Structure 1
């Protein structure tokens, strides 16, 4: 026993030494190439696997330290309150890019350093919120979908084809929504026949009345992992981002995705570099690294959002291609509506959301 114990101790010491030497090797690689030893990424929760960071550190010796947020508004507030030097890369949605730029929170990207930008489908480039992609590089597109438990709905005798069907009293405390004001107020506006980018205060106030009717049916607000409540059969319906639906479907055979008759909400999330980034060169190196087809595939394998990387499409497996929640139908994308910047009308949304949540 003593011999075995000594062998275990010796083995543990060797493992620790090897780990330490490996870490030193990575740092030496960064120093040798004139890179900083770490960069700070500010990203959505559950949006990029750790395996990507490990591959990046292995190749360049640069460690990625990730912090996460649950909404665009939270992200922008943090950049304003704490300063833009906290992070080197962030991943905001399209509708908030103009506000970030107007407040001088982001800086231009040197596209000559992003050679892999050519891998992005041209349909996702040169969008109205950033003509010429001066400040943004597309990462992933998401669509808000309805993920439903078909078995539970069958037991309740419910069919869902519209956001208005969510008001059914049989769904009491059986819906999970994202903790996101634009998404939640957006479905109310669309249920009323308006656009989710409405700027008319009277119409936005009507959305408040619709949400109040929905309130008894809401069990939880969860932007981080709403699929959890679906997988565990704790809710019957979830308004979730498409990748959450795809993952829930893989783990619970009773979950299916539904595209309502109203347009679905879409967001194009892009890489940006905060204005005060201390490591712009390394940030651009990281962005270019992520746009490699094999790395893009690695991300979609874990978080199956709509992938704008055309070079990665041929690498994606059947689980992605055959799942309508990940490989979104073209008809739904065409019907969908991108969230847009609503300027000063955001104050009406803020007011409605505050009253609704309290």
Structure 2
């Protein structure tokens, strides 16, 4: 046997060993721990949207280090996944973004053999139009969009979106720096669908928001919260969960869902195509669906959990608060965002025009 053949055999052995390392230790992307799991998991979530304790307890139980990153809005998260530069394993998209990501083949189908705790999710939250068979996502939190206001600064009835356009509160109104949410409630104010694809209706919403702009203190996603707690604003467009959290901090604050209707939203957990550790990703999602874990997150964040078994672990006054947990047919409260496909560019266009006006 000549030296060249011996050399080739050595190379072959090295290649086999390298392949084994890829399969069993991640080949530079993490290694298998003593419990048989990859020792790292990359989670991408909204800011302030999980109890840090449950991450610590997951790490301790499974020997998996959670690399936790946050995003400010769905579009930011989508861009990161589209770029493929980050190996995220678990993400938390909203309902309309699930639709978008399914269409773009950016999500992996879930293996429900690994998700035994899915039975804890309420039936009213399963098989919704954005993911009809829950092939790609499981519900996490849900809620409404409304107005939080300071009862010491606002002495009139707050039951309509119109109050956000009241000049009496000039410089004391916060709006969300989020195109679908801010444009959406403006469309509801005008009596239109928040999923409209009618250019004329969208232009009328744009005109309303340009008219409102001099009254707005700031367009924010997170910073307005501390200012509302400190009494530095009269009212703000907000999500129901944030409202509950703020009311806990300042009893002068109150929350209302306007009579014209609202956005009914759902945030979910999913596994993106960027994940190289699907087994561990599904392990994490199943862990998050344990009733006691879901209750810790709901108690910490103050958002309504879709995990009905978790309600048994939450304070009675929170579960019975109909602003946080509306009773009856929740879909009578408002509309669910849908994916607008190519028409999204029209919303982006008018948002740019509003912000630059």
TM-score under structure 2 normalisation? 0.88
Pairwise CA distance, 1:333: 5.0
Structure 1: distance between partners of 2:328 and 2:220 = 28
Residue number in structure 2 paired with 1:292:
290
Structure holding more helix per residue: 1
Distance 1:332 1:102 in 2: 27
- Tell me if structure 2 keeps the 8 A contact 1:46–1:224: no
Deviations 1:286-307 (A, max 9, x none): 0000100000110011111121
Report if the CA contact (8 A) 1:95-1:339 is conserved: yes
CA contact (8 A) 1:120 1:138 kept: yes
8 Å contact kept, 1:201–1:345: no
Q: Which residue of 2 aligns with 1:45?
A: 47
Aligned to 1:25: none
For 1:55, the equivalent position in structure 2 comes to 57
Query: What CA distance in whole angstroms lies between the structure 1 residues aligned with 2:32 and 2:62?
Result: 6
Q: CA deviation at 1:331?
A: 6.3
Q: Are the equivalent residues in 2 in contact too, given 1:88–1:278 (CA < 8 A)?
A: yes
The answer to whether the Cα contact below 8 Å between 2:42 and 2:90 also exists between their aligned partners in 1 is yes
- Taking a change above 3 Å as real, the CA distance of residues 293 and 30 of structure 1, as seen in their structure-2 partners, is farther
SS of corresponding position for 1:164: helix
Of residues 69, 74, 77, the one that matches 2:76 is 74
Partner of 1:146, secondary structure, is strand
Shift of 1:330: 3.9
CA deviation vs aligned residue, 1:110-136 (integer Å, no higher than 9, x gap): 111000000000111111111211111
How far apart, CA to CA, are the structure 2 residues paired with 1:111 and 1:145? 35
- Separation of aligned partners in 2, 1:172 and 1:232: 18
Asked if structure 2 preserves the Cα contact closer than 8 Å seen for 1:257 and 1:324, the reply is: no
Distance (whole Å) between structure 2 residues aligned to residue 329 and residue 238 of structure 1: 24
Unaligned runs of 5+ in 2: 1-30
* Counterparts of 1:49 and 1:115, CA distance in 2: 22
> Does the 8 Å contact 2:264/2:333 carry over to 1?
no
CA displacement, residues 48-83 of structure 1 (integer Å, 9 cap, x when unaligned): 121110010111011111111111111111111244
Tell me, in whole angstroms, the C-alpha distance in 1 between the residues paired with 2:35 and 2:52: 23
- Quote the Cα distance in structure 2 between the aligned partners of 1:182 and 1:292: 31
Q: SS state of the match for residue 141, structure 2?
A: strand
Give the match's secondary structure for 1:184.
helix
C-alpha offsets along residues 125-174 of structure 1, whole Å, 9 cap, x if unaligned? Answer: 111111211111111113111111011012xxx43221112111111111
Judge conservation of contact 1:225–1:244 (CA < 8 Å) in 2: no
Separation in structure 2 between the aligned mates of residue 94 and residue 348 of structure 1, nearest angstrom:
20
Shift in Å, 1:223: 1.4
Cα offset for 1:326? 2.6
Deviations 1:207-232 (A, max 9, x none): 00010121112112221353212111
SS in 2 for 1:151: coil
- Whether the 8 Å CA contact 1:30–1:60 is kept in 2: the answer is no
Aligned length: 326
Q: Distance in 2 between matches of 1:322 and 1:335?
A: 17
Q: Please say which of residues 282-291 and 43-52 is displaced more in the overlay.
A: 43-52
Q: What is the DSSP-based 3-state SS (H/G/I as helix, E as strand, rest coil) of the residue aligned with 1:161? A: coil
Instruction: Tell me the equivalent position of 1:91.
Output: 92
Residues 332 and 117 of structure 1: CA distance in aligned 2, closer, same or farther (over 3 Å): closer
Aligned twin of 1:226: 224
Counterpart of 1:184 in structure 2 is 182
- Aligned partner of 1:306 in structure 2 is 304
